[in-house]
């Protein structure tokens, strides 16, 4: 049984007459202990996908279709408010800004203890001991002292560690991490990645890692899902996809990573902008920017299997289907 199974998730923004189709029929699954990276340019719908899974969509964002099954339970029929409660102890989300999780006016201890007691029947002292152990686990030095601190008394890196500790403290089966390292310097980025990687090895946590940085996904994820203009255009084992991308968009993303080309060679840039989605363009959403576009791309390409557990949504993939 997958920890998470999402089928045909569709999200609209705005009024029902001319909504933006921000996420269109996204399907994905994540197994126990697996890291799946959701990558794509800014505005491609990654965050909305994560928020919908976590039950955190608020108007003008509307989930208009799709099934979300967490640990075998189909939660799609429940209204968003109930979804939030049902999912609270099974999944957790961390964001780029740790202050999206932390309350600035409460001590770290109060926040962690309340998070534990909101979901589990644990006494205050036991909850405090757990909070202390979690700060230690996420690499906070002098944890007893930090427990008494307010968020503003901690550095940015420490705040992100505490936010991750708060997310993990009820041992969720699924962690959704939305660019939690983007605002940190490279040393801290690497430390946070290593921390989450170790945690999921120890506890079998499934991780959905949302990032615009294919380089980060490369070193960390088991599988990668590439999103463009609200659709998943390619998916597969991370190593295979990065070695031989099938979709021209994935190839373009890879060509723009520093270090992907010999020194002295300019990085490839992708011309143009993603299309507007209100309404979405007909046919392939990438065709206006695609070097391989042809007359056939006026029709919407289906998602096809290319072997080795890979899929691609393209009439002219770079890796040919078997
Ligand atoms: N609350 C909102 N109200 C209106 N539009 C929104 C809202 N949240 C997101 N959008 C729009 O939905 C689209 C998808 O946004 P989303 O945040 O999911 O993209 P993303 O791929 O995560 O990009 P980024 O990396 O910049 O966060 C974008 O066009 C964005 O402007």
The alpha carbon of 48 and the centre of ligand 1 are apart by a number of angstroms equal to 6
Q: Is the CB of 306 under 6 A from ligand 1?
A: no
Q: Is the CB of 45 under 6 A from ligand 1?
A: yes
Atom of ligand 1 nearest to the CA of 60: 3
Beta bridge partners of 7: 67
pLDDT tens by residue, 215-246? 888 888 999 999 999 999 999 999 999 999 99
Atom of ligand 1 nearest to the CA of 49: 18
pLDDT over 70 at 69, yes or no: yes
Return the pLDDT at 17: 85
pLDDT tens by residue, 31-50? 999 999 999 999 999 999 99
pLDDT tens by residue, 237-291? 999 999 999 999 999 998 877 666 666 666 667 888 899 999 999 999 999 999 9
Rounded to whole angstroms, the Cα distance separating 272 from 263 reads: 25
53-67, 75-89, 182-196 — which is least confidently predicted? 75-89
Return the pLDDT at 263: 66
Give the mean pLDDT of the chain. Answer: 90
Query: Do the Cβ atoms of 188 and 86 come closer than 8 Å?
Result: no
Return the pLDDT at 322: 59
pLDDT over 70 at 54, yes or no: yes
Q: Is the CB of 12 under 6 A from ligand 1?
A: no
Distance (Å) of CA 7 to CA 26, 39, 74, 124, 281: 7, 18, 11, 40, 23
The alpha carbon of 23 and the centre of ligand 1 are apart by a number of angstroms equal to 10
> Which among 90, 100, 147 is positioned nearest to 124, based on CA atoms?
147
Mutate which of 12, 21, 22 for ligand 1 pocket (most atoms within 8 A of beta carbon): 22
Atom of ligand 1 nearest to the CA of 230: 14
pLDDT band for position 321 (cuts 50, 70, 90): low
Query: Do the Cβ atoms of 174 and 206 come closer than 8 Å?
Result: yes
> Which among 17, 21, 61, 68 is positioned nearest to 44, based on CA atoms?
21
Nearest CA to ligand 1 atom 26: 42
Q: Is the CB of 81 under 6 A from ligand 1?
A: no
Return the pLDDT at 75: 83
Return the pLDDT at 185: 84
The alpha carbon of 198 and the centre of ligand 1 are apart by a number of angstroms equal to 30
pLDDT over 90 at 53, yes or no: yes
DSSP 8-state class, residue 204: -
Rounded to whole angstroms, the Cα distance separating 298 from 285 reads: 9
Q: Is the CB of 212 under 6 A from ligand 1?
A: yes
Nearest CA to ligand 1 atom 20: 43
The token duo for 144 is 């007893």
Return the pLDDT at 258: 66
Atom of ligand 1 nearest to the CA of 44: 21
Q: Cβ-count burial of 1 within 10 angstroms (0-12 exposed, 13-18 middle, 19+ buried)?
A: exposed
Q: Is the CB of 235 under 6 A from ligand 1?
A: no
Specify the pairing of strand 231-237 against strand 310-313: antiparallel
The alpha carbon of 319 and the centre of ligand 1 are apart by a number of angstroms equal to 30
Average pLDDT on 66-89 reads 79
Nearest CA to ligand 1 atom 5: 13
Rounded to whole angstroms, the Cα distance separating 254 from 155 reads: 33
Nearest CA to ligand 1 atom 7: 61
Above pLDDT 70, what percent of the chain? Answer: 93
Identify the residue with better confidence: 51 or 188: 51
Beta bridge partners of 72: none
Q: Is the CB of 11 under 6 A from ligand 1?
A: no
Q: Is the CB of 43 under 6 A from ligand 1?
A: yes
Above pLDDT 90, what percent of the chain? Answer: 68
Atom of ligand 1 nearest to the CA of 277: 29
Return the pLDDT at 234: 97
pLDDT tens by residue, 172-209? 999 999 998 887 888 888 888 998 999 999 999 999 99
pLDDT over 80 at 78, yes or no: no
């Amino acid at each position: 049984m997958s920890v998470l199974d999402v089928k045909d998730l569709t999200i609209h923004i705005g009024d029902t007459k001319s909504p933006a189709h921000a996420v269109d029929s996204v399907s994905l699954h994540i197994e126990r202990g697996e890291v799946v990276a959701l990558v794509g340019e800014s505005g491609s719908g990654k965050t909305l996908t994560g928020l919908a899974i976590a039950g955190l969509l608020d108007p003008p964002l509307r989930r208009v279709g799709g099934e979300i099954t967490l640990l075998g339970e189909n939660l799609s029929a429940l209204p968003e408010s109930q979804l939030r409660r049902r999912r609270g102890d099974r999944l957790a989300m961390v964001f780029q800004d740790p202050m999206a999780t932390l309350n600035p006016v409460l001590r770290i201890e109060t926040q962690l203890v309340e998070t534990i007691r909101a979901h589990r029947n644990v006494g205050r002292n036991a909850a405090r001991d757990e909070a202390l152990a979690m700060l230690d686990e996420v690499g906070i030095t002098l944890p007893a002292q930090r427990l008494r601190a307010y968020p503003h008394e901690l550095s940015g890196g420490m705040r992100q560690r505490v936010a991750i500790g708060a997310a993990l403290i009820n041992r969720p089966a699924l962690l959704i991490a939305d660019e939690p390292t983007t605002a940190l310097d490279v040393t801290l980025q690497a430390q946070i990645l290593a921390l989450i990687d170790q945690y999921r090895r120890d506890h079998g946590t499934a991780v959905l890692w949302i990032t615009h940085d294919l380089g980060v996904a490369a070193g960390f994820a088991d599988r990668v899902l590439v999103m463009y203009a609200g659709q998943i255009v390619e998916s597969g084992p991370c190593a295979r996809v990065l070695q031989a991308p099938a979709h021209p968009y994935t190839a373009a993303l890879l060509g723009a990573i520093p270090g992907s080309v010999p020194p002295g060679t300019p990085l490839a840039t992708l011309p143009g902008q993603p299309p507007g989605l209100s309404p979405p363009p007909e046919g392939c959403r990438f065709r206006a920017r695609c070097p391989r576009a042809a007359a056939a791309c006026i029709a919407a390409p289906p998602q096809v299997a290319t072997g080795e557990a890979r899929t691609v949504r393209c009439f002219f993939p770079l890796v040919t289907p078997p």
